[in-house]
Structure 1
Amino acid sequence: MKFKDYIASHQAFTTEDIYAITSREAAHTQLQRAVKSGEVERVRRGIYVSKTGRFTGEAPDPFLVARTVDPEAVISYHSALVAHGVAHNVGFECSFRSAKVRSPFEYGGVRYVPYNLDDNPQAQTMRSKSYGTVGVTTREQTLVDCLTYPGRVGGVEEAVRSCSAFPYLDVDALLEILGSAPAAVVARTGWLLEAKQADWGVASEKLLSLEARLGSGPSKLDPRSRENEDWSPRWKLYLPETEEEILSWTP
């Protein structure tokens, strides 16, 4: 395949992809010319996007960029909420776990934020015309991630509102992911599962099993909150707003 044909049919690609169709010397020359002419844009070292043919004026899907940077990337945190279609607010970050990418980078108004893949998250493959296939944390893993690090999803309100929009959960899988999670994460998860008990079909004995793991407490629903407006005695959990207000985030 000729270089011109390749960039007209592949929206995101690496230098290694170009090496596969031509010599390294020719690849460097053609890429330099294409970047100079505006037919190709450089995302970061070794990663490019096409701006020619059917891709003229079209921004690449952030998940496609993340997958091109690291084919083993796992879309996580707020970006996983977006992938599952439940994110409450629009975000301008693409968060992903990676064993390859260590530093954040920006392209096209999107900040790409990598996190370690060391925790071996539960993931699934998702498909879309805009990005092909990509790994995404499961609903259950995403919920645990969001309640563990609400700051990574835009705050505790965004975490609660978005996770509450999941139509259903595999509670047994969720409890397995919680494993030996800190008491604070168990408390936050228990509180949300109780709030959504009827919608998600959460058995009472599952809540009791989480309640038994709380220890002496207390914990906070929002780890960044300096003020505590209310208290959940069952979950030994300080709440940043009144419980009535926070329950309104879980329709």
Structure 2
Amino acid sequence: MDLYKELTRLQCFSYADMVQLCKSEKAADWQIKTYLKKGYIERVRRNLYVVISMETEQPIANRFQIASQVTQDACISHHSAFEYYGYANQVFYEVYFSTCKNVRPFTYDGIEYIPLPKTSAIEIPDMNNGVRVTSLERTVIDSIIDMDKIAGLEEFLRCLELIPSLNEEKLLDVLEGYSKKQLYQKVGYILEFYKKDLSLSKDFFLKCISCSSSSKTYLTQEIRDNIFHPKWLLYAPKDLKQLINKGVEYDDVI
């Protein structure tokens, strides 16, 4: 049972991890087959396994730990990162993770794991308690980039309202990394409604304006009652806080 104890320390492990522990592929293959049959482990997807607790008969690893092990650079992102930090308004039955690798979505234990493309320029966070997760500032920016695909505007704003503060230097670092002028417009417009709540200075918004595109754009692809905001050259709702306070129903999620 020494091997099982070692696996419980890992909680979630890859085939390569088992080979390293068993010293050979042949031994690893036999051990995996044996442990699967005994119910000590379960297959999450190809070459990825989770350890089952003998006491509860449930996976030891949680969904964030599992998603962080799918690839060597996988990290929890977008709405799932808000959930991890405790700033989500809704709990999804999907886990979003970003990776540079080509991975297909998969389902395990009633949860759908959805990979999202990540550019190689984005840093890989350090593992903490078996979880890699994007910083809160990157989570905000990523959610603005992909809010037409994930969660929607209203759900994102409700998450944003739960955040106590943001580091504007880190926000600008993320924006600089993406180097998308229209992204500065969208970020500046949205965060300006929450500048006091998030402790963002005037200088942050001046920087967003100076880096913005000179072209007009839309905040989202969704058709809604937009008006033109000359400051940001952006077609968007008149008042974001009023939008969610009206009790508008959530957007459909993937």
TM-score of the alignment, normalized to the shorter chain, above 0.5:
yes
What RMSD in Å do the two structures reach over aligned CA positions? Answer: 2.8
Q: Does 1:168 align with 2:169?
A: no
Cα 1:240/1:207, change in 2 over 3 Å: closer
Counting only pairs closer than 5 Å after superposition, residues 38-187 of structure 1 correspond to structure 2 as: 38-54=39-55, 56-58=57-59, 60-122=61-123, 124-125=125-126, 127=128, 132-179=129-176, 181-187=179-185
Q: Does 1:190 align with 2:209?
A: no
1:228–1:238 CA contact under 8 A, matched in 2? no
Question: 1:47 offset after TM fit, Å?
Answer: 1.0
Which of these residues, 226, 233, 236, is aligned with residue 236 of structure 1?
233
Cα 1:203/1:230, change in 2 over 3 Å: same
1:125–1:135 CA contact under 8 A, matched in 2? yes
Q: How many residues align?
A: 244
Question: 1:175 offset after TM fit, Å?
Answer: 1.9
State the identity %.
27
Supply the AA of the counterpart residue of 1:17: D
Higher strand proportion: 1
1:9-42 CA deviation, whole Å, 9 max, x = no partner? Answer: 5432222222233343233223223323433211
Cα 1:182/1:113, change in 2 over 3 Å: same
Equivalent residue for 2:251?
A: none
In 2, the alpha carbon distance for the partners of 1:77 and 1:39 equals 32
1:104–1:113 CA contact under 8 A, matched in 2? yes
In 2, the alpha carbon distance for the partners of 1:102 and 1:207 equals 37
Under a length normalisation based on structure 2, what TM-score does the superposition of the two structures give? 0.81
Equivalent residue for 1:17?
A: 17
1:18-76 CA deviation, whole Å, 9 max, x = no partner? Answer: 22333432332232233234332111111111224245124631121123222432221
Under a length normalisation based on structure 1, what TM-score does the superposition of the two structures give? 0.82
Equivalent residue for 1:210?
A: 208
Supply the AA of the counterpart residue of 1:21: L
Cα 1:144/1:49, change in 2 over 3 Å: same
Secondary structure at the aligned position of 2:21 is classed as: coil
In 2, the alpha carbon distance for the partners of 1:72 and 1:29 equals 28
Unaligned ranges ≥5, structure 1:
none
